[in-house]
Every structure is written in structure tokens, then in C-alpha cells.
Amino acid sequence: MEHFLTDQVFNAAGLAGVVVYLGSYALLQAGILRGGGYTYAILNLCASSLVLISLTVAFNLSSAIIQVSWIVISLMGIARLAWINGHVRFSAEEEAMLQQVFTDMPRPMARRFLNRGNWIDATEGAILTEEGTPVANLYYLADGEVQVISGGQVICKITSGLIGEMNVLSGGEASATVRIATPSRLFVISGDALRRLNARDPDFRNLLGKGMSRDTGRKLMSANARWSEKAAAD
């Protein structure tokens, strides 16, 4: 009876390993997991370890070699990621930008993204986007204030976040003019650079889109809150 129960435990470990193998691969194909991230490597390490454990009661040399090789490769991948992440550095303003907008972006990917743009100091009155004109750049406002103008009227002010994210990838026309209201610090990257990054890296494209959508939602919620407060005051 004890021997039977032991066999059942080892068989269950093998089945669990198969489930983890197939589940992680399905998540990868669905775009939920990234092939170059920690999670996928760790799941593969766990799956191969579980299957290897199950082989102690029904040993198969070929399968054992595959599982050991998978374990070694997974460990190498985890070590490589740890080394790369440990050598990527960001300035304080870059860290703040990533924390606010691109929290899901891996550090090496974020470094490549930031290297394609520049930090600039903009003076009062400078125009970032012009209503009816194609949006050429994506901006991140780190410090300062901008006015959003439509039909010649100031409709709102922005003190942080992305500017131009709605149309920069398509090159569509800006729905409003954005003008610097006070001396400001911004990160700027061209739409052409973003499109090249998107074409080379599907993971980057997904994470960029998520960050843009999240920031747009944040600004809309903030604007709705201000309008509600104004309406209540009136």
C-alpha cells in the first residue's frame, strides 16, 4: 500500500509538470507571458523538475536527458536575466516615468526605449502638438504644466503624463493643440522610432500600448473629477 501511494505521488508530480509545461506554453502563445521574462523561465524550470521527479519510479533515459537539459537551460536563462537587469541603470526622472506609465516594461526593454528618445527643457509658449496637424512625437511631461487648447479655448491643463499618445503611432491629426504653460521638463521620442521598435519587438508593442491606454485612462479620470468638482461648485 505504501509503495502504491508513493508511485501515485510521483505520477502526480509528472502530471503536474505536464500541466505546467502546456499551461506556460499556452500563455506564451496567447501573449500573456513573455518568452524573455522570468516567469516563463521559472515555469519551465518547475515543469521539468516535476517531470524529472516522476521518472524516479519509471525511468526513461531519453526523457531524463531532456528534463535535465531543460533545467540547465532554464537556470542559464534566469541567470542571464538577473545579470542584464543588474547592469541596467536609470536616472531618477527615468525611473519616475517608468513607474507612472510603463510599470510592466522589463528594464532592458525600457532602456532601449529610452535610448531612442531625449530629455528636453521646454520654455513657456512652445507648441508640442497643433490641432489638425499630424502628431509626430510622443512626449512625457515630467515636470511643469501644459495647456490643452481646442477651438482656441483652453479646455484643460496637464501637469504629468503622456502627450500625443492617441495618434503618434498612426500619424493622425492632433485633436487639440498642446502648449507649454510653464517651463517644463519632457521626454520626447519620435513616432518613427516607436514604429521601428514596434516592428522589431511584439512584446514592446503590447507593453507600449498598455502603458499608453493606462495613462489616457488616468488623465480622463482626472479630468472627469475636475469637471465634477467644478459643476458642484457652480
What is the C-alpha to C-alpha distance for residues 55 and 78, in angstroms, rounded to an integer? Answer: 25
Q: Can you give the pLDDT at residue 59?
A: 81
Give a three-class secondary structure readout of the chain.
CHHHHHHHHHHHHHHHHHHHHHHHHHHHHCCCCCCCCHHHHHHHHHHHHHHHHHCCCCCCHHHHHHHHHHHHHHHHHHHHHHHHHHCCCCCHHHHHHHHHCCCCCCHHHHHHHHHCCEEEEECCCCEEECECCECCEEEEEEEEEEEEEECCEEEEEECCEEECCCCCCCCCEECCEEEEEEEEEEEEEEHHHHHHHHHHCHHHHHHHHHHHHHHHHHHHHHHHHHHHHHHHHC
Mean pLDDT is lowest, of 88-102, 133-147, 169-183, 220-234, for 220-234
Q: Can you give the pLDDT at residue 126?
A: 96
List, for residues 41-100, the tens digit of each pLDDT value: 889 999 999 999 888 877 888 889 999 999 999 999 888 888 877 778 899 999 999 999
> pLDDT class for 229, splitting at 50, 70, 90?
low
> pLDDT class for 8, splitting at 50, 70, 90?
confident
Please tell me which of 40-54, 114-128, 151-165, 200-214 the model is most confident about, judged by mean pLDDT: 114-128
Regarding whether 98 and 61 lie in a shared domain, the answer is: no
More confident residue, 18 or 114: 114
The CATH number given to whatever domain includes residue 219 is 2.60.120.10
Regarding whether 40 and 154 lie in a shared domain, the answer is: no
- Length in residues, the chain: 234
Name the amino acid, one letter, at 145. Answer: E
List, for residues 103-113, the tens digit of each pLDDT value: 989 888 999 99
How many domains are there within the chain? Answer: 2
> pLDDT class for 35, splitting at 50, 70, 90?
confident
Regarding whether 153 and 112 lie in a shared domain, the answer is: yes
Domain finish residue from 42, 69, 86: 86
Regarding whether 132 and 105 lie in a shared domain, the answer is: yes
Regarding whether 212 and 151 lie in a shared domain, the answer is: yes
Regarding whether 145 and 39 lie in a shared domain, the answer is: no
Regarding whether 100 and 65 lie in a shared domain, the answer is: no
Domain housing 56: 2-86
Interval 24-36 mean pLDDT: 80
**Burial annotation 63-91 (CB, 10 A radius, 16+ → b, else e):** eeeebeebbeebeebeeebeeeeeeeeee
Q: Can you give the pLDDT at residue 85?
A: 75
Supply angle C-alpha 193, 110, 127, rounded to 5: 50
Interval 136-154 mean pLDDT: 94
Neighbours of 13 (CB within 10 A): 19
Domain finish residue from 86, 111, 146: 86
Regarding whether 122 and 227 lie in a shared domain, the answer is: yes
Please tell me which of 22-26, 85-89, 143-147, 228-232 the model is most confident about, judged by mean pLDDT: 143-147
Domain finish residue from 69, 86, 103: 86
Percent of the chain's residues with pLDDT above 70: 92
Regarding whether 113 and 34 lie in a shared domain, the answer is: no
Mean pLDDT is lowest, of 41-45, 166-170, 215-219, for 215-219
Q: Can you give the pLDDT at residue 192?
A: 95
Cβ-in-10-Å burial (0-12, 13-18, 19+) of 60 comes to exposed
Regarding whether 68 and 97 lie in a shared domain, the answer is: no
Regarding whether 109 and 134 lie in a shared domain, the answer is: yes
Regarding whether 188 and 96 lie in a shared domain, the answer is: yes
